[in-house]
Structure 1
Amino acid sequence: MLAQICHFLGVDSSNFPLNEHVCIVDRSKDAGFLIHYFLNLCKKQNRPLCVLGLTQSFNHYSSVAQKLGTNLLSARDNKNLIFIEGLQLLSDYVIGDQSKTNPFLQLVIGNVSRLNELIRESLESVQLSSPSALPPVVIIDDLSVLLSLGVPSKNVICFVKSLISLVTSYCPGGSLISSVSVSDSDSDEEDIWSCLSHFGTLNIEVSNLKSGYCKEVHGQVRANRY
């Protein structure tokens, strides 16, 4: 399956591209497999990884990776993978954590520097600890979650732009993989996707079949490389 997806996306299964910005738009709620695919691919290539999990915990990704033959727990213990438990930080914010150190509280009020600093520190740590000399890959599983917590779309877009700048300037050759879920009636989600796709080198769109449900096929995937 890994080889088939690599072939479809035009990605070298033995050498994930440098300076790559993969943008995933999920219009079907079924695109989660792509995050697992890229995690598995980068781990197999021993790329240093920084993952910001906004929809799932590390335990979830580790469990799925194990079924795919990849040991994320070992990678984390060896500091070849830094997983930022964004889901926990978001939960703390929702239940009333008004601490100035919570990066998502800062993001709501328009300050993207705290979240960027958290990612920068993680990148610095993984680069220092990783046995690999390869540049790191940053993965964010679903930016649209931030909208549901009251973060204005303009703040999310500002965060995305500053993160792209961070990855390209601080980590020469580094790559970014980001995803956003988009529903038909949400213009804010479309605005974020428009921003992502503008900077993307590989844009992937997962959507439902226009003809409706099919027993064997649940959706369609389109990929465009720039």
Structure 2
Amino acid sequence: MGYQTLDQALSFKNNLAPLKRSILITDTLLAQGNFLVHHFIVNQIKADKHVVLVGLSQNFNHYLNIGRKLGVNLTVSSQKGYFSFIDGLTSLTINSSTIASTSLLPTAMITPLSITNCTKETLLNFYNIIKKIITTHHASANSNVLLIFDDLSVLIYSGFKVCDVLEFWGACRVLIEKYEGTLISLIHSDEVTGSSSTDNIDFDDEIFIKSLIYKSEYLLSVRGLESGFSRDVSGEITIARGPKNFEKWFRPITLHYKILDNNVQFFAKGFSQGVF
């Protein structure tokens, strides 16, 4: 599976993200939360469930290499119908008439500079691409799907309006609920948005982050240590319920974590033995 100590902390049934729920991962530039994305991908695929990964900041080879370290071959998983990769920034530049060709696995690096038409219509075409993949898979396999955005902040600092991105995200959330799936979004909580007015940068960024927090059931917040660099601890993660979550079984917790070559260990603050 993914990271065993994280599974213990989350206490999700069968170590899978709960259905018809939204999980929001927030991180910072100094403590990035991409390792959590890989955790959910691995658990989903090893349970023979479908993953639709929208790569907005990394190319396919990045996920392929890390997946291999965690015991999953994403190329093989794609051939078996358990994994679909959408090159997000390439998909944003194509017309909806070319949707059928977007399931190919890209090898080129992705750059946010490739987006030149940051309009609501562009996001609508992008939504139709995602919808096509999810509905096609559901019709053939009828299994729960995990939709992951890594990372959604790229749309903001590429020039899309906050209100349009939130509307796009909301449409994806409704789509996922319809097909009994789960939505995971990663965003940078200290990222500067693409607003052209310096007076509105912080305000727009705050609206974007708080809106996603308000609409999510689970919050995973990754940040660096207040004390600064540590050889034994990579950072700190807080696992909490979102405002829409009233599940009494879920226990909020703050843990330290250590990133290793092919694993991530989570442990109680003040300890470094992988226990909590």
TM-score, normalization by structure 1: 0.85
Aligned-pair CA distance for 1:47: 1.1
User: Comparing both structures, which one devotes a greater share of its residues to helix?
Assistant: 1
Aligned to 2:190: 183
Q: Distance in 1 between matches of 2:16 and 2:163?
A: 34
Q: 1:65-85, CA deviations, whole angstroms, 9 ceiling, x for partnerless residues?
A: 011101211111122211111
Aligned to 1:205: 221
Letter in 2 for 1:21: S
Question: Which protein, 1 or 2, shows the higher relative CO under an 8 Å CA cutoff with sep ≥ 6?
Answer: 1
**Runs of at least 4 residues of structure 1 off by over 4 A?**
99-106
Q: Percent identity?
A: 25
Aligned to 2:153: 144
Asked if the contact 1:56/1:87 (under 8 Å) is kept, the reply is no
Gaps of 5+ in 2: 100-114, 193-200, 246-276
TM-score, normalization by structure 2: 0.70
Secondary structure at the counterpart of residue 150 of structure 1 = coil
**How many residue pairs end up in the alignment?**
214
Secondary structure at the counterpart of residue 20 of structure 2 = coil
Aligned to 1:82: 84
Q: Distance in 2 between matches of 1:155 and 1:184?
A: 18
Root-mean-square deviation (CA, aligned residues, Å) is 2.3
Secondary structure at the counterpart of residue 177 of structure 1 = strand
Aligned to 1:110: 120
Aligned-pair CA distance for 1:200: 1.2
Asked if the contact 1:20/1:175 (under 8 Å) is kept, the reply is yes
Matched, 1:121 2:122: no
Q: Greater Rg, structure 1 or structure 2?
A: 2
Q: 1:67-107, CA deviations, whole angstroms, 9 ceiling, x for partnerless residues?
A: 110121111112221111114346xx5xxxxx65599666x
Q: Distance in 1 between matches of 2:136 and 2:81?
A: 8
Q: Distance in 1 between matches of 2:50 and 2:224?
A: 33
Letter in 2 for 1:35: V
Asked if the contact 1:14/1:45 (under 8 Å) is kept, the reply is no
